[in-house]
């Protein structure tokens, strides 16, 4: 019996409005969405691949979809996704993610990524830039906001924060998001912040830089500065990170007159020394924090932030070929970005061993394993 089994994920997208007029609805919108999610899990990168997946898996798909007129064509998939309301699609995604989260007090890393293949020069369409939130312990993409280009991240980050439950979570953001209004919004949401400080905050950056230079040069620890070092190695590279933390109330009051940075409690310096191929490089990064953390925890928070680069951006580019995607029409690039995040979340949540790449291959070959990924 078609549709006898239930896919819990599908129920969260049942409220998305169908953009088509009635006489053109040969295929159910929910069927189109679910087939696309399944196809992307299994390695499809474009609408032709999605349609081919649907055709090859039609008998299996009939176990939980209606498919009143079979599998849609690749043109149908493309047209529908170009017209789905991206805000509604995003809201359905958010509701699903909130339901599958298991850890509520997490490190939430926020960062932006440009989808280079979505740039359509002949039609004057700029490349899509998505600002995403990644929950490090849950290993989930929590949400995303589309902006015209990287320079608009400052306006997108508050919008993304409004979508998230920040209570008890620590939000980490790179220098673009180091803004007083963003710090205040995080605290208003009962979250905590670790904000990367760079020269875009000219005076504060210079003061913090000088503060740590003085403290490190002193023979005795100055300003109550504490430090801790950890070392990691792998792939022919050795990296040593030393975190320095200053939380002296008088120093913080000097750096933060009038509490411009809401509840600022400490500043940190993380110095990373990397040795590879006989060469050593050193990088220093400064941070603003609304809590006083031991330096070992500061190192962990900073590492947690870079998980969005290694576990999300890199995987989407190398494994899902996001940058190479030529999906450009209408709202399809943004909606397909959400589909990739759904696929990545589902593959990460499936507990068996293996890389995302190997799991995609296994799902394409084995319907039983694909059902485990989908939670059927």
* Mean pLDDT lowest among 102-106, 236-240, 300-304, 341-345: 102-106
Residues 273 and 185 in one domain: yes
Q: What is the model's pLDDT at position 121?
A: 56
Beta pairing, strands 128-135 & 140-147: antiparallel
Q: What count of other Cβ atoms lies within 10 Å of the Cβ of residue 15?
A: 10
How many structural domains compose the chain? 2
Q: What is the model's pLDDT at position 340?
A: 96
Residues 12 and 129 in one domain: no
In a domain, 111, yes or no: yes
CA dihedral 51→52→56→58, nearest 10 degrees, is 10
Q: What is the DSSP string of 87-132?
A: HHHHHHHHHHHHHH---SS-EEEEEEEEEGGG-BTTTTBPPEEEEE
Residues 188 and 219 in one domain: yes
Report the chain's mean pLDDT, rounded to a whole number: 90
| Region 361-370 average pLDDT | 97
143 and 90 in contact (C-beta within 8 Å)? yes
Beta pairing, strands 170-173 & 140-147: unpaired
Of residues 78 and 113, more confidence is placed in 78
**pLDDT above 70: percentage of residues in the chain:** 93
* Maximal CA-CA distance, the chain: 80
* Mean pLDDT lowest among 34-38, 52-56, 146-150, 346-350: 146-150
Residues 74 and 113 in one domain: no
Rg (CA), the chain: 23
Token digits of residue 213: 């230079």
**What's the CA gap between 234 and 65, in Å, rounded?**
46
Residues 156 and 281 in one domain: yes
Residues 169 and 131 in one domain: yes
- Tell me: pLDDT of 45 over 80: yes
Residues 50 and 122 in one domain: no
Structural domain range at position 338: 8-85+331-374
**What's the CA gap between 314 and 48, in Å, rounded?**
24
In a domain, 321, yes or no: no
273 and 231 in contact (C-beta within 8 Å)? no
**What's the CA gap between 376 and 370, in Å, rounded?**
9
Residues 109 and 77 in one domain: no
Decide: helix, strand or coil at residue 32: helix
Q: What is the model's pLDDT at position 150?
A: 56
Nearest of 337, 340, 325 to residue 117 by alpha carbon: 325
Residues 185 and 67 in one domain: no
In a domain, 183, yes or no: yes
In a domain, 270, yes or no: yes
Size of the chain in residues: 376
Spatial CB neighbours of 339, under 8 Å, sequence gap ≥ 6: 36, 37, 40
In a domain, 324, yes or no: no
Residue with tokens 């991206």: 86
- Tell me: pLDDT of 6 over 80: no
Of residues 177 and 234, more confidence is placed in 177
* Mean pLDDT lowest among 18-27, 53-62, 219-228, 291-300: 219-228
- Tell me: pLDDT of 38 over 90: yes
161 and 152 in contact (C-beta within 8 Å)? no
Residues 59 and 135 in one domain: no
Q: Which tens digit of pLDDT belongs to each residue from 209-236?
A: 999 999 999 866 678 899 999 998 877 7
Q: Which neighbouring-strand residues pair with 135?
A: 108, 140
Spatial CB neighbours of 64, under 8 Å, sequence gap ≥ 6: 3, 4, 5, 6, 7, 10, 34, 376
In a domain, 2, yes or no: no
In a domain, 319, yes or no: no
* Mean pLDDT lowest among 50-54, 128-132, 272-276, 370-374: 128-132
Of residues 321 and 116, more confidence is placed in 321
Of residues 101 and 292, more confidence is placed in 292
Spatial CB neighbours of 110, under 8 Å, sequence gap ≥ 6: 131, 132, 133, 134, 157, 160, 161, 171, 172, 173, 177, 308
Q: Which tens digit of pLDDT belongs to each residue from 249-258?
A: 999 999 999 9
Token digits of residue 21: 């007029």
Q: What is the model's pLDDT at position 119?
A: 46
- Residue 116: pLDDT band by 50, 70, 90 thresholds? low
Q: What is the model's pLDDT at position 308?
A: 86
Spatial CB neighbours of 51, under 8 Å, sequence gap ≥ 6: 71, 72, 73, 74, 77
The CATH number assigned to the domain holding 210 equals 3.90.350
Residues 71 and 33 in one domain: yes
Residues 54 and 126 in one domain: no
């Amino acid at each position: 019996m078609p549709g006898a089994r239930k896919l819990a994920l599908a129920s969260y997208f049942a409220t998305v409005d169908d953009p088509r007029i009635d006489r053109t609805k040969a295929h159910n919108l929910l069927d189109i969405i679910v087939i696309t999610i399944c196809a992307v899990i299994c390695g499809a990168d474009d609408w032709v691949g999605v349609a081919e997946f649907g055709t090859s898996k039609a008998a299996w798909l009939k176990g939980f979809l209606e498919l009143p007129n079979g599998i849609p064509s690749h043109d149908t998939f493309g047209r529908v996704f170009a017209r789905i309301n991206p805000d509604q699609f995003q809201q359905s995604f958010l509701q699903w993610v909130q339901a599958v989260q298991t850890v509520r007090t997490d490190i939430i890393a926020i960062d932006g990524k440009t989808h280079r293949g979505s740039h359509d020069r002949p039609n004057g369409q700029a490349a899509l830039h998505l600002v995403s939130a990644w929950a490090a312990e849950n290993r989930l993409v929590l949400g995303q906001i589309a902006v015209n280009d990287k320079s608009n991240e400052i306006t997108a980050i508050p919008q993304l924060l409004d979508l998230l439950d920040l209570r008890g979570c620590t939000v980490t953001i790179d220098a673009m998001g180091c803004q007083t209004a963003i710090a205040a919004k995080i605290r208003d949401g009962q979250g905590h912040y670790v904000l990367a400080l760079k020269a875009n905050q000219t005076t504060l950056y210079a003061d913090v830089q000088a503060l740590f230079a003085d403290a490190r040069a002193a023979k005795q620890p100055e300003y109550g500065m504490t430090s801790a070092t950890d070392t990691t190695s792998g792939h022919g590279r050795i990296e040593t990170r030393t975190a320095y933390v200053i939380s002296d109330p008088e120093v913080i009051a000097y750096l933060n007159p009038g509490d411009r940075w809401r509840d600022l409690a400490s500043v940190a310096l993380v110095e990373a020394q990397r040795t590879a191929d006989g060469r050593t490089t050193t990088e220093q990064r400064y941070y603003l924090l609304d809590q006083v953390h031991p330096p070992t925890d500061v190192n962990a928070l900073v590492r947690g932030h870079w998980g969005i680069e290694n576990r999300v951006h890199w995987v989407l580019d190398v494994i899902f070929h996001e940058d190479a995607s030529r999906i450009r029409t209408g709202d399809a690039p943004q909606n397909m970005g959400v589909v990739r995040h759904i696929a990545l979340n589902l593959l990460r949540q499936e507990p068996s061993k293996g890389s995302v790449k190997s799991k995609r291959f296994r799902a394409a070959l084995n319907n039983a394993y694909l059902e485990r990924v989908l939670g059927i």
